[in-house]
Amino acid sequence: MVVAYKDYERVGQEFRELFIQYGGLKPGMSMLDIGCGTGRMAVPLTEYLSGHGAYWGFDSGKKRVQWCRDHIGAKFANFHFEHSDVYSKYYNPAGKLQPGDYTFPYENEKFDFVILISVFTHMLPEAMLHYMKEITRVLKPGGRLFATYSILKDDQFRIIGAGKNALDFRYPIQTGFTIDANDPESSIAYQEDYLKQIFGQHKLEIVHHLRQGDWSHKTNFLSRQDILVAEKASPIRKVK
């Protein structure tokens, strides 16, 4: 399906509203967009983040990052883009680093808000786990993660078995499921309980599990994929 540019813009604007409504994004926050692509999320955010706020994005696609630098970073001093030379079957097949070994180029607890839109849905489970660890490291206590996934609830397996799902996640891989055993990165899903478990392990409390995406044939959807919003635990203050 060819997505018209207008749709591309509209999706970015819709996500910006979800970041504000469910993610608690504020104009003065510092945020990170992992797998920022060609700025679909960054462009509408230029109209929202104030001079006190700042956006960082990184992506394994070099040309994508260059486009963002030329068209967004050049105009907005508080928007920064980094190329990460991380292997990705589709986006950076010559990448020197494996995603499971990649340390994000940011200090601990730098960000109030971290987003991944349509990234974990193409990342193998081991890499996804490592990114979760890095996300927890760079989030401030009380900061939030807003990420899209394809999430398999119990009823999904029945629907998949009947061949009725838009995406047919019938092949198990490690801790997830894929639509194509020969090309697992094409689309990856996780069971809800597994995601709850790994969020818990990373001290990330799920504060919103938004309605399932339209991939699952639900009609009451907010986006193509499912959305989880989680908050990093704050240390309990000791009372003297």
Ligand X SMILES: C[S@@+](CC[C@H](N)C(=O)[O-])C[C@H]1O[C@@H](n2cnc3c(N)ncnc32)[C@H](O)[C@@H]1O
CB of 218 to ligand X, least distance (A): 20
From candidates 88, 156, 187, 191, binder to ligand X by CB under 6 A: 88
Contact 170, 179 (CB under 8 A): yes
Closest CA to 216 of 144, 148, 168, 146: 168
Closer CB to ligand X, residue 58 or residue 199?
58
Which position has the token pair 């819709």?
Answer: 14
Q: Which of residues 24-53 bind ligand X (CB under 6 A)?
A: 34-37, 40-41
Report how many residues bind ligand X under the rule CB under 6 A.
Answer: 20
Q: Give the separation between CA 43 and CA 58, rounded to whole angstroms.
A: 14
Binding span for ligand X by CB under 6 A among 22-30, 85-93, 168-176, 219-227:
85-93
* Contacting residue, 31, 86, 135, 147, with ligand X by CB under 6 A: 86
In terms of CB distance, is 130 or 196 closer to ligand X? 130
> Rule CB under 6 A: which of 98-117 touch ligand X?
99, 117
Q: How far is the CB of 123 from ligand X (least distance, A)?
A: 6
- Spatial strand order of the sheet with 171-173 comes to 151-152, 188-191, 176-178, 171-173
Residue 223 near residue 213, CB atoms below 8 Å: yes
CA distances from 80 to 38, 56, 59, 66 (A): 13, 5, 12, 11
Four-CA torsion 53, 228, 40, 102, nearest 10 degrees: 80
Residues 196 and 206 sit within 8 Å (Cβ to Cβ): yes
Q: Which is nearer to ligand X, 71 or 196 (CB)?
A: 71
Q: Which is nearer to ligand X, 157 or 221 (CB)?
A: 221
> In this chain, which of 19, 79, 81, 91 binds ligand X, going by CB under 6 A?
91
Contact 62, 83 (CB under 8 A): yes
What track of x and - describes contact with ligand X for positions 181 through 200 (by CB under 6 A)? --------------------
Residue 118 contacts ligand X per CB under 6 A? yes
What residues contact 144, with CB distance under 8 A and at least 6 apart?
23, 24, 112, 113, 114, 207, 229, 230, 231, 232
Is 84 near ligand X (CB under 6 A)? Answer: yes
Q: Does 61 bind ligand X (CB under 6 A)?
A: yes
Q: Enumerate binding residues for ligand X (CB under 6 A).
A: 34-37, 40-41, 58-61, 64, 84, 86, 88, 91, 99, 117-119, 123
